Amino acid sequence: MQKIGLLYHPKIGESLRLAQSLEELLTSKGLSTWIGSAWEDEEARKHIPDLDLIVTFGGDGTILRAARMAVPQSTPILSVNMGRFGFLAEAEPEKAVEILPTILAGDYWLEERIMLHAELHRDGDQQASYEALNDVVVGHAVMSRVVRLATYVDGEHVAEYVADGLIVATPTGSTAYSLAAGGPILHPQLKVVLLTPIAPHRALERSIVLPPECNIEIRLSTEYPAVLTIDGQIDTQLEDADRILVSVSPHRCNLVRTQPRNYFGRNLLERLKQ
């Protein structure tokens, strides 16, 4: 690793200070660095293709941003937890200085997480496309109003949801919104897709686990405002008859790990106790 990117959370003052401290450490070792805000996507995307490693200083949301920025390079991400839960984090702030030399020496492994690719189609034309590490959500934008979501898997009609919305999640996202909506927790290294309805009415209430090769189509029917949300961070207004296509992305998120490979169960119990 020769060039390291340091992404800090602009709303957490200590995040920038720690990033600057590690920048001094890395430059003292003769490494090239770039430091930037995780909220300045356009600027970060200019630098990421040249990076060998991205270090994030923030919560899980900062990692989600970094994962999307890293497409299509799939640049490895080391996460320093400065958020609340830190499901995805590798190190706490006090361990950041200690862990970096270990990683630079090559003593680490990469945990590959699948991502989703989503497309918004309207009137026969593709309007936009997105990558997501956690989830793609189609839902209402007005309280107390449901949306109707005809859902197809590989062209077969599998459900007609009348609900607050529908979550299409990766195993990474199974501990996020999907879990709050009653979905199961999946091991993060599984290569599957999870469908979880949000407060469904007269419809299938359980989550559905699908294989990674499947293609999901959601056809929206609504008289009220609706929204497409990517990783809980990007919102796009939807219209009646819009179609959302979701599949497993060809790109991956690579998380740098120094913990034992069986870390997930221990970390899960610790995070859920918070």
User: What letter would DSSP give residue 55?
Assistant: E
Residue with tokens 């958020």: 83
Are residues 199 and 207 in contact, defined by beta-carbon separation less than 8 angstroms? Answer: no
Please state, in angstroms and rounded to a whole number, the distance separating the CA atoms of residues 161 and 158: 10
DSSP labels for 174-189?
GGTHHHHTTPPP--TT
The Cβ-side half-sphere exposure at 6, using a 13 Å CA radius, reads: 20
Residues in the chain: 274
- Which among 107, 104, 109 has a CA at the least distance from the CA of 22? 104
41 is catalytic: no
Q: Which of 41, 50, 52, 60 is catalytic?
A: 60
Residues taking part in catalysis: 60
